[in-house]
């Protein structure tokens, strides 16, 4: 488990966390990249959008491994959000906008993406 204050500098902690997971479970380079990008996006969203960069609020990263999958949860202390109403970044009207691609990337790179607790928790699953 990883727990830290909602400071953008703490996103860097994701690299070493993922490196340990990759080495422990001997994951492929593709899976390594998918987890790293997805987890970086999830943690960035938790800090920036969930906890609004409030360093008094924490972000937690939890990991669980089963026989053929790795589940990673990112939890924040924010108010949550309506994950069903996110704009589609592939639509022409959204392509030039800055931001709005994090959830799209997580959805594309993970094998399963689920939002829990009103959007305060994101769970990503990766087949291994």
pLDDT tens string, the chain, 128 residues long: the values are 999 999 999 999 999 999 999 999 999 999 999 999 999 999 999 999 999 999 999 999 999 999 999 999 999 999 998 888 777 777 777 777 766 688 999 999 999 999 999 999 999 999 99
Pair of tokens at residue 9: 């500098």
Residue-wise pLDDT for 74-101, tens only, equals 999 999 988 887 777 777 777 777 666 8
Q: What is the CATH number of domain 2-127?
A: 3.30.565.10
């Amino acid at each position: 488990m990883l727990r830290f204050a909602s400071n953008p500098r703490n996103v860097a902690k994701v690299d070493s966390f993922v490196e340990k997971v990759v080495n422990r479970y001997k994951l492929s380079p593709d899976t390594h990249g998918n987890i790293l990008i997805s987890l970086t996006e999830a943690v960035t969203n938790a800090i920036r959008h969930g906890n609004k960069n409030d360093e008094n609020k924490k972000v937690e990263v939890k990991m669980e491994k089963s026989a053929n999958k790795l589940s990673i949860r990112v939890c924040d202390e924010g108010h949550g959000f309506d994950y069903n109403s996110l704009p589609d970044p592939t639509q022409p009207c959204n392509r030039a906008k800055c931001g709005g691609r994090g959830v799209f990337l997580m959805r594309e790179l993970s094998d399963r993406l689920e939002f829990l607790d009103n959007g305060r928790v994101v769970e990503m699953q990766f087949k291994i």
